[in-house]
Amino acid sequence: MESNKKYLFNATQFGKLLSMKKYLFYILILISTCVQAQNKIFFAQNHTKVPAANPSQSYNALNFSTSLQNYASLPAATYFSGNFTIECWVYPTAHTNWSRIIDFGNGAGSNCVLFATSYGTSGKPGFYVGGAQFEATSQIPLNQWTHLAATLSGSTATIYINGVASGTANFPTPANVTRNNNYIGRSNWGWGDPAPSATFDDLRIWSVAKTGAEITAAMNNELAGSESNLVAYFKFNEGVACGINTSITTLVNSAATGAQYNATLSGFTLNNSCVSNFISGKLKPNNDGLTSATAGSSAYQIKQDFPASTDGIYWIKNANINSGNPFQIYADMTTDGGGWTLILKNSSNSGWNYANAISLNTSIPFSNTSDVLNINTSNYSIIGWADFIKRSTSGFQYMIDATSRRSSGGIWTANGSYSFVKPDNSQTNITLNTKFGDWNYVSENGLMQRMPWYSSSAGGGCGVITVDDGSGNWWGTLVSLCGWSPTPWIYDAGGGTVNPDPGILWYWVR
């Protein structure tokens, strides 16, 4: 037994051991609490607070990190030579020294026009033109959106905070010279004035002095870009919020002045983070398509930006269509997530010819969904515009349905740079995403694996818009010049249900 004593404990020793374990348990809890607290401090010191992300939206903003030399630069130009207005939504997380919204000039103090979220580190916006400078009377808050504007009217300079004047001063007229260093988020004085610790949205530069009422009236909605006297306009809607945006190098100037004033990005990480990247913005695009003044670019764009949009008539516009003027389209906002623009409705074989097969009743003869579905309403085609409406050069989708919605046809993806008015039958690299009905591809007398083409020869000139190869019969036709009701559709369904005379047919682009 003597040899085993070292492994035995009496009651007193056992009690002491329990007591020691209890103290050890408390010490471990204390260490864990300290580590967690230290981690929280580290996170707070090394992460910038930014507006919450919504990766699905396309109304973004641009976040600047004050620890990086991240900024955007515009090409050399005059930009300022008389009255002007600068305005921008800002979301500062710190009042860093002279945090520039813009600084346009030719180096430190040389022909500079600058507007800053903070005069020094005061948190009061600062305004500078040609050696004269002043600060606003009020400080702007941190960690929330504030609209800032600076105007020069004659010799009177004014700073506005959320549309309300916050100080004035006498300023000189900016020199009418070419400015070569034109920065967003950077100083002409060098990096002694760091990049902002802030997010910017909807930066506008005007060649007129806006009034407080004019600023207030327009500051809560994105502009169309065609407004008079708008010199440069940056919506910052590029990219995916907090996503991988490393391929983006340019900020698009959305003013009518166009690409000549696009800005080049420098020093941003743009890599799967909400810091130094595109993030969720303040303003939602004012292009819901409900009026001509708020025309969108396609049904797809409207559905992406306004997910609650429903089937119906919308306004869109495109510089390549209708002389750039808004026009109405019918949109399916339901099928497969919606965003479909109707480009053909055919319910009668009369009245068609080769030319109007791609352009008929383009001012749209419908006023509601019932008209679109009605076999007795007018035929319609804007196929000739579809290449400008599709969401991308390749990888776009098209949809065809016949007889009744989603009953005979399908949804396809075009896997190449395909055109809706291609005059040959070569566009065959397509993927059937969704089939309507139980048809199957056939080599003749039905649906072939081909995007519809603009034919002058299929069926001896009878099948104008068709998936037929043009060598024999002309089944699978969307627009017919030679009878049928309203067009020969599916005679051979490859073992499925035939549909030779569909009665009505629709063609869509997304």
Sign of CA dihedral 342, 346, 351, 354: positive
Which of these, 442, 486, 443, 441, lies nearest to 463 by C-alpha position?
486
Q: What residues contact 289, with CB distance under 8 A and at least 6 apart? A: 295, 296, 299, 302, 306, 309, 314, 315, 316, 331
Which of these, 425, 431, 500, lies nearest to 469 by C-alpha position?
425
In which residue ranges of the chain is pLDDT below 50?
1-48, 53-57
Q: Whose structure tokens read 């007398």?
A: 445
Quote the CA–CA distance of 70 and 146 in Å, as a whole number.
Answer: 21
- Residue 51, pLDDT score: 61
Per-residue 3-state assignment (H helix, E strand, C coil) for 290-302: CCHHHCECCHHHH
Q: Is 267 exposed, middle or buried (0-12, 13-18, 19+ CB in 10 A)?
A: middle
- Residue 58, pLDDT score: 61
Classify 162 as helix, strand or coil.
coil
Strands 198-206 and 84-92, bridge-based pairing: antiparallel
Q: Could you give the C-alpha distances from 394 to 222, 296, 418, in angstroms and in order?
A: 29, 21, 6
- Residue 305, pLDDT score: 80
Q: What is the pLDDT of residues 224-281, one digit of tens each?
A: 788 999 999 999 999 999 999 999 999 999 998 999 999 999 999 999 999 999 999 9
Structure tokens at 510: 């997304």
- Residue 48, pLDDT score: 44
Q: Could you give the C-alpha distances from 65 to 75, 99, 191, 276, 440, in angstroms and in order?
A: 23, 11, 13, 5, 56
* Long-range own/partner contacts, residues 208-215 (CB < 8 A, 24 or more apart): 208/83, 208/84, 208/85, 209/83, 209/84, 209/85, 209/151, 209/152, 209/153, 210/85, 210/87, 210/149, 210/151, 212/160, 212/163, 212/164, 212/165, 213/163, 215/85, 215/87, 215/147, 215/149, 215/160, 215/163
The residue ranges of DSSP E strands in 308-350, in sequence order, are: 312-316, 327-332, 340-346
Classify 200 as helix, strand or coil.
strand
Q: Whose structure tokens read 């004050």?
A: 66
Quote the CA–CA distance of 17 and 40 in Å, as a whole number.
Answer: 35
The full length of the chain comes to 510
Q: Could you give the C-alpha distances from 207 to 54, 78, 273, 320, in angstroms and in order?
A: 34, 11, 36, 28
Q: What is the DSSP letter of 487?
A: -
- Amino acid, res. 398: Y
- Got the DSSP string for 41-109? HHHHHH----PPP-TT-S-EEEEE-TTS--EEEEPSB---SSSEEEEEEEEESS--TT-EEEEEESSTT
Which of these, 349, 351, 356, 200, lies nearest to 282 by C-alpha position?
200
Quote the CA–CA distance of 24 and 209 in Å, as a whole number.
Answer: 71
Residue 389: its H or E element: helix 386-389
Strands 132-135 and 71-74, bridge-based pairing: unpaired
Do you find a cis peptide bond into 502, omega within 30 degrees of 0?
A: no
Classify 493 as helix, strand or coil.
coil
Which of these, 473, 468, 471, lies nearest to 454 by C-alpha position?
468
Q: What is the DSSP letter of 459?
A: G
Point out which residues pair with 149 in neighbouring strands: 87, 160
Q: What residues contact 445, with CB distance under 8 A and at least 6 apart? A: 473, 475, 491, 492
Which strands make up the sheet holding 113-116, listed edge to edge? 132-135, 126-129, 113-116, 100-105, 181-184, 71-74, 263-266, 250-251
Quote the CA–CA distance of 28 and 113 in Å, as a whole number.
Answer: 59
Q: What is the DSSP letter of 195?
A: P
Q: What residues contact 418, with CB distance under 8 A and at least 6 apart? A: 394, 396, 427, 451
